């Protein structure tokens, strides 16, 4: 239910639905998100330390870390493991960069049946496209702001 | 050696706490509103850009390491940081800096997603 069309729904029906819904388990949800999110960040930290030992520094270090995490996210999505983690962890699996990888890979695999160009390639950016669009736009704004101030 | 191990342990602890905390905030927002995953990603990325622009996110990254860079707000940090660094070099780099900084992430996502689409078939979602 979106907030906008709320008044169009029958109040009694909504009340009935609410009695049938399982209650949101706030504590369990939040604990799972915190735990899984924290764990993914720890994996990131582990990769970072390993790469630091391998002699990477600065931008190269940060970039390589996210590339490896994105690879893991894509692979786990392909294997169907990430969706299962996501059902349990909610935001804990959405918010880390692996969730971004999941949002790219998942539609790419799903819409492969609709063809390579309009299916796989175009649908790849259903969610990531929004991130890139707003990211580039806000990034340019920040750049201009810092340039002129 | 003991001191060094303690330092590494502390790094992991900080990464866990900050990274988990960011996910916890997202989960609380999801629980109390009806935002979808895509909107959460965009809002957190934008929050990362804004927090970097006002200088709050950089200290967080120095404190928590991967705990601050792995969540999607770290992607916003990367974009804004690239733009800020580019702005020191000149007008052209102020405009292109953000996407250049994020190029590794976007490239990796596209290439790996393509490869996975080649390898795997879509499966019916088991609920």
pLDDT in tens, B88-121: 999 999 999 999 989 999 999 999 999 999 998 8
Which residues of chain B have a pLDDT value below 70?
Answer: 1, 123-127
Band (pLDDT 50/70/90 cuts) for residue A3 is low
Per-residue pLDDT band for A68 (boundaries 50, 70, 90) equals: very high
Residues of A in contact with B119 (CB under 8 A): 78
What's residue B61's pLDDT? Answer: 92
Helix residue ranges, H only, A6-127 = 11-20, 26-53, 58-79, 81-89, 91-94, 97-110, 122-123
Contact A97 B71 (CB under 8 A): yes
- Report the residue of chain A nearest B33, measured CA to CA: A3
Residue of A1, A22, A37, A113 to mutate for B, most B C-beta atoms under 10 A: A37
Residues in A closer than 8 angstroms to B51, CB to CB, are: none
> Residue for token digits 């976007």?
B106
User: CA A75 to CA A7: how far, in whole Å?
Assistant: 43
User: Using the beta-carbon criterion (under 8 Å), do B23 and A37 form an inter-chain contact?
Assistant: yes
Residues 6+ away with beta carbon under 8 Å from A74: A101, A102, A104, A105, B109, B112, B113, B115, B116
Tokens 């059902």 found at: A87
Per-residue pLDDT band at A1 (split at 50, 70, 90): very low
Task: For residue B39, give both structure tokens.
Answer: 């909107």
Locate B121 and state its tokens. Answer: 């078939």
B7 contacts on A by Cβ (under 8 Å): none
Q: How far does B46 lie from chain A, in Å, by closest CA?
A: 7
Establish if B95 touches chain A: CB-CB under 8 angstroms.
Answer: yes
Put simply, the chain B residues between 32 and 91 with a CB less than 8 A from any chain A CB are 34, 37-38, 40-42, 44-46, 49-50, 52-53, 64-67, 69-76, 78-80, 82-84, 86-88, 90-91
Task: Judge whether B10 is closer than 8 Å to chain A, CB to CB.
Answer: no
φ and ψ at B71, to 5 degrees? -60, 160
In this structure, the number of other CB atoms found within 10 A of the CB of residue B122 comes to 16
Give the least confident one: A57-61, A89-93, B121-125.
B121-125
Cβ of B97 within 8 Å of Cβ of A139? The answer is yes
CB contact under 8 A, A63 and B104: yes
Q: Is A96 helix (H, G, I), strand (E, B) or coil?
A: strand
A55-59, A101-105, A143-147, B102-106: which range is least confident on average? Answer: A55-59
Tokens of A28: 């369990």
């Amino acid at each position: 239910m979106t907030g906008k069309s709320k008044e169009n729904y029958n109040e009694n029906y909504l009340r009935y639905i609410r009695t049938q819904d399982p209650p949101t388990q706030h504590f369990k949800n939040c604990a799972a998100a915190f735990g899984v999110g924290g764990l993914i960040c720890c994996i990131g930290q582990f990769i970072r330390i390993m790469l630091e030992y391998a002699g990477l520094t600065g931008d190269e270090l940060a970039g390589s870390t996210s590339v490896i995490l994105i690879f893991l996210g894509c692979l786990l999505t392909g294997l169907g493991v990430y969706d299962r983690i996501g059902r349990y962890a909610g935001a804990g699996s959405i918010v880390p960069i692996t969730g971004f990888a999941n949002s790219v890979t998942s539609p790419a695999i799903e819409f492969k049946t609709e063809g390579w160009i309009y299916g796989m390639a175009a649908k790849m950016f259903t969610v990531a496209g929004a991130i890139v669009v707003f990211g580039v736009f806000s990034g340019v704004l920040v750049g201009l702001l810092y340039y002129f101030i | 050696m003991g001191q060094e191990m303690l330092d590494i342990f502390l790094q992991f602890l900080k990464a866990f706490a900050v990274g988990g905390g960011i996910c916890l905030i997202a989960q609380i927002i999801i629980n109390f509103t009806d935002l979808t995953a895509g909107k959460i990603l965009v809002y957190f990325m934008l929050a990362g850009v804004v927090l970097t622009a006002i200088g709050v996110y950089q200290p967080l990254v120095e404190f928590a390491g991967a705990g601050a860079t792995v969540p999607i707000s770290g992607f916003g940090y990367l974009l804004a940081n690239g733009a800020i660094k580019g702005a020191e070099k000149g007008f052209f780099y102020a405009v292109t800096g953000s996407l250049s900084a994020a190029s590794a992430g976007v490239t990796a996502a596209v290439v790996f997603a393509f490869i996975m689409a080649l390898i795997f078939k879509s499966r019916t979602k088991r609920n």
